Chain A
Amino acid sequence: MKPAQGVIAPQGLRTGRTVLDVARIREDFPILKQQVHGKPLVYFDNAATSQKPQVVIDTLNRYYATENANIHRGIHFLSELATAEYEETRNKVKRFLNASESREIVFVRGTTEGINLVAQSYGRRFFKEGDEVVISAMEHHSNIVPWQMLCEQVGARLRVIPMNHDGELLLDEYERLLGARTKLVSVAHVSNALGTINPIGRIIESAHRRNIPVLVDGAQAAPHMKVDVQELDCDFYAFSGHKLFGPTGIGVLYGKARHLEAMPPYQGGGDMISLVTFEKTHYNIIPYKFEAGTPHIAGVIGLGAAIDYVSGIGLDAVAAYEGEVLAYATAQLSTIQGLRIIGRAKEKASVLSFVLEGVHPHDIGTVLDREGVAIRAGHHCAMPVMQRFGVPATARASFAFYNTGEEVDVLVRAVRKVLKVFG
């Protein structure tokens, strides 16, 4: 990368031995051809949700047009077809995360529901008064509030791993938090507000030395890097389909089989039972025990198409390319006077949070929008992070593999325009 040139070669950036043909990749995403307010769309809000390739859109369409049926019950052609596709996606997710068995893959609505499931099922079964759950100072609200709710229900306590001013967790402090009362550790793999890649391998190792299970919030990691749950040895891993170029309303909770088997159901209803009488209900085996009611079948099958698509590009190539886009954007934005980047961890992925002296992020967002640049402005559902850095909100640009150096240049020009308006 040569920042001086002002662009990253958009037609093919060489990352090691892999070439990411971004111009061709962009052809796969119909929404990227759009104009907003008369300007070409520059979509830098990928941490909120990602755009969908045509193959995912076509898969949803095909499912509803030719395969729609309920699963696990119909003795007819369509139902068998839909069931096969649904269960095949479970296998795809298993391979995607390198889980050891497909029954360790539970379909949920998203990361939030995955965490709530563990808090309410695992937490209420195994937590007692005085027990502790350890989270970090950079968690999304969805990895804070479910634990606060559990704490209130069982009289447990929330402990928080602090971070330094660059947005890196203080691991020595973390070690000190772990004790006989710690029942679970739940941390983000990648911070949605700061972009920090947390050293979850080490975090898991430390917890496991004390037999403490670990849940990883993978919402911001799964779309940007290879995840191997066996190598990490995490106990639970949750991610959302819509951030991984798939449909909204579908996500995954991975859990080690022995945990899932020991946990009570999260919700009651159809599909999660094996036998029901008014006296007693026998629950189904995992993962079905956790999939009450007709699931988001189209969403699951669409997620399968998204996983195929991303795997076809290769997450190692994605990570390398996005790393260069992030480095280039960081260098370019840093040249703007009065701009401060929030989150300067050594290990970062795809998120660039910043503030401008004298201009509220909300106003930055509005001016950028009129230049066609979509970013997020606000607290990013991580209000404690904002408090930690003493800002009410930040502007956040977040990248995907279809973004280019030219788009970063548009962002930088638009930020300069903000300064002109508020100068």
Chain B
Amino acid sequence: MSELSELYQEVILDHNKSPRNFHRLADANRRAEGYNPLCGDQITVYVKVEDDVIKEISFEGSGCAISKASASMMTDSLKGRTTAEAEALFDRVHKMLKGEVNPGDDSHDLGKLAVLSGVCHFPARVKCASLSWHTLRTALKREKEVASTE
């Protein structure tokens, strides 16, 4: 598989075309906006947290296929997880995007998110894939309103 087709795998193109959980969440109690000043990608992540568990999660915004698919898959994989688990998963995803883990290694527990591992061959696109995760972290910490990949 060429690096390009490894980047744009069917699963990613599918999430880009039909993003999951792509809407506002009316009863969200955490919310943050993320912005990538390099390319203009914009995202809002909504989370409903109860007893430290992510009950509901969704997103809105505009961006490239990588950022949209990554956000879509993130929301899919975090429903029902604790906020601490979400944090830990972000660390593993980030390592994968930077090419620091082997996606075949099950101990990292990346699940479906492993299809994003091709991003590591495209350093300029790492920020696209991590934007939604940075935004989620901001939402969970409620440290500030706008997250940035910078």
CB within 8 Å of B: which residues of A?
Answer: 359-363, 366-367, 370, 377-379, 383, 386, 392-393, 421-422
Interface membership of chain B positions 98-135, coded 1 if the CB is closer than 8 angstroms to chain A and 0 otherwise? 00000000000000000000000010110010000000
Q: Which of A361, A366, A379, A383 contacts B7 (CB 8 A)?
A: A366
Cβ-closest chain A residue relative to B125? A366
A360 and B65 in contact (CB under 8 A), knowing A379-B40, A383-B40, A393-B39? yes
B13 touching A362 by the CB < 8 A rule? no
A125 to chain B, nearest CB (A): 33
B7 touching A360 by the CB < 8 A rule? no
Q: Which of A361, A377, A421 contacts B8 (CB 8 A)?
A: A421
Q: Which residues of A contact B125 (CB under 8 A)?
A: 362, 366
Interface membership of chain B positions 1-32, coded 1 if the CB is closer than 8 angstroms to chain A and 0 otherwise? 01110011000010000000000000000000
A377 and B122 in contact (CB under 8 A), knowing A363-B64, A422-B13? no
**Docked CA distance A240–B78 (Å):** 48
Interface of A, secondary structure class, is helix
Interface membership of chain B positions 35-62, coded 1 if the CB is closer than 8 angstroms to chain A and 0 otherwise? 0001111100000000000000000001
A378 and B64 in contact (CB under 8 A), knowing A370-B3, A421-B8? no
A363 touching B65 by the CB < 8 A rule? yes
Cβ-closest chain B residue relative to A393? B40
B4 touching A378 by the CB < 8 A rule? no
A-B contact pairs, 19 of them (CB 8 A): A360-B63, A360-B65, A360-B68, A361-B39, A362-B64, A363-B66, A366-B4, A366-B122, A366-B124, A367-B4, A370-B2, A370-B3, A370-B4, A378-B38, A386-B40, A392-B40, A393-B39, A393-B40, A421-B8
A360 touching B4 by the CB < 8 A rule? no
A36 to chain B, nearest CB (A): 13
A325 to chain B, nearest CB (A): 26
Known: A362-B64, A393-B39. 8 other contacts (CB 8 A): A362-B63, A363-B8, A363-B64, A366-B7, A377-B39, A383-B40, A392-B62, A422-B8
Q: Which residues of B contact A379 (CB under 8 A)?
A: 39-40
Q: Which residues of B contact A377 (CB under 8 A)?
A: 39
B70 to chain A, nearest CB (A): 13
**Docked CA distance A383–B42 (Å):** 13
B23 to chain A, nearest CB (A): 19
Cβ-closest chain A residue relative to B42? A392
Q: Which of A367, A378, A421, A422 contacts B39 (CB 8 A)?
A: A378
A360 and B38 in contact (CB under 8 A), knowing A366-B122, A370-B4? no
Q: Which residues of A contact B4 (CB under 8 A)?
A: 366-367, 370, 421
A422 and B65 in contact (CB under 8 A), knowing A366-B125, A370-B3, A370-B4? yes
Cβ-closest chain A residue relative to B38? A378
Cβ-closest chain B residue relative to A362? B64
A392 and B41 in contact (CB under 8 A), knowing A370-B3, A370-B4, A421-B8? yes
Q: Which residues of B contact A367 (CB under 8 A)?
A: 4
Q: Which of A359, A366, A377, A379 has the most CB of B within 10 A?
A: A366
Q: Which of B2, B40, B65 has the most CB of A within 10 A?
A: B40
**Docked CA distance A383–B65 (Å):** 20
**Docked CA distance A392–B39 (Å):** 8
Q: Which residues of B contact A362 (CB under 8 A)?
A: 39, 41, 63-64, 66, 125, 128
Q: Which residues of A contact B8 (CB under 8 A)?
A: 363, 421-422
Q: Which residues of B contact A366 (CB under 8 A)?
A: 4, 7, 122, 124-125
Cβ-closest chain B residue relative to A364? B64
Q: Which of B2, B39, B41, B128 has the most CB of A within 10 A?
A: B39
B15 to chain A, nearest CB (A): 13
Q: Which residues of B contact A378 (CB under 8 A)?
A: 38-40
Cβ-closest chain A residue relative to B3? A370
**Docked CA distance A249–B4 (Å):** 35
Q: Which residues of A contact B68 (CB under 8 A)?
A: 360
Cβ-closest chain B residue relative to A417? B4
Q: Which of A363, A370, A421 has the most CB of B within 10 A?
A: A363
Q: Which residues of B contact A363 (CB under 8 A)?
A: 8, 64-66
Q: Which of A361, A367, A386, A421 has the most CB of B within 10 A?
A: A421
A379 to chain B, nearest CB (A): 4
Q: Which residues of B contact A386 (CB under 8 A)?
A: 40
**Docked CA distance A379–B8 (Å):** 23
Q: Which residues of A contact B64 (CB under 8 A)?
A: 360-363
Q: Which of A360, A361, A370, A386 has the most CB of B within 10 A?
A: A360
Cβ-closest chain B residue relative to A378? B39
Q: Which residues of A contact B2 (CB under 8 A)?
A: 370
Q: Which 4 A-B pairs have the closest CB atoms?
A: A362-B64, A360-B64, A379-B40, A393-B40
Q: Which residues of B contact A360 (CB under 8 A)?
A: 62-65, 68
B68 to chain A, nearest CB (A): 8
**Docked CA distance A422–B66 (Å):** 12
Q: Which residues of A contact B3 (CB under 8 A)?
A: 370
